[in-house]
Structure 1
Amino acid sequence: MDGIEYRGGSLFIGDVAAARIADAVGTPTYVYSAEGIRHAFGRLERAFGPLGIRAHYAVKACGNLHVCRLLRKAGAGMDVVSGGELE
């Protein structure tokens, strides 16, 4: 499961309907699925870990601290190009 799916014609992120999120915070908004991120990272780890390859996340792709912390906790390294990204 990637964390985002249609159920009965409605979009869900995890167990929450996207319409409910939109009602609560308005649109446009960014919504990330922690479950989806963990799932995708786990697939990378299972595919490349046995080869001795460690995944690093490019912080410049998305510097959202929650996403970075989630990936870090899962075991990802962080690829930064500046001190600002490191902070």
Structure 2
Amino acid sequence: MDAAHLVLADVDLSECPFTGAVHLDQVRLEGACPFDKVPPAHWRRWPPRFTQRRTLAEEHHWRASRTTAAQGWNAAVPGAGHIGPAQLAPV
């Protein structure tokens, strides 16, 4: 998808995939356009495992698919295909 000059207003982006889109640098977000968050930190370890930040849906899917995945990452819909760091780097 070519996202050049796309304007998104008040859209929940927490489950929106961005892989394959081009010109994401030209997307304008207006109003409340929340992304997903990382799961709560695991305080049994020091330092905590996760920093508080916003994430793309693809990161959630990739981390949930790992054998060492912490609880709280959202798994991809079955049949959605594999997205890894190489596919996320351009995004």
Please, what TM-score do these two structures have when normalized by structure 2?
0.22
Higher helix share: 1
Greater Cα radius of gyration, structure 1 or 2? 1
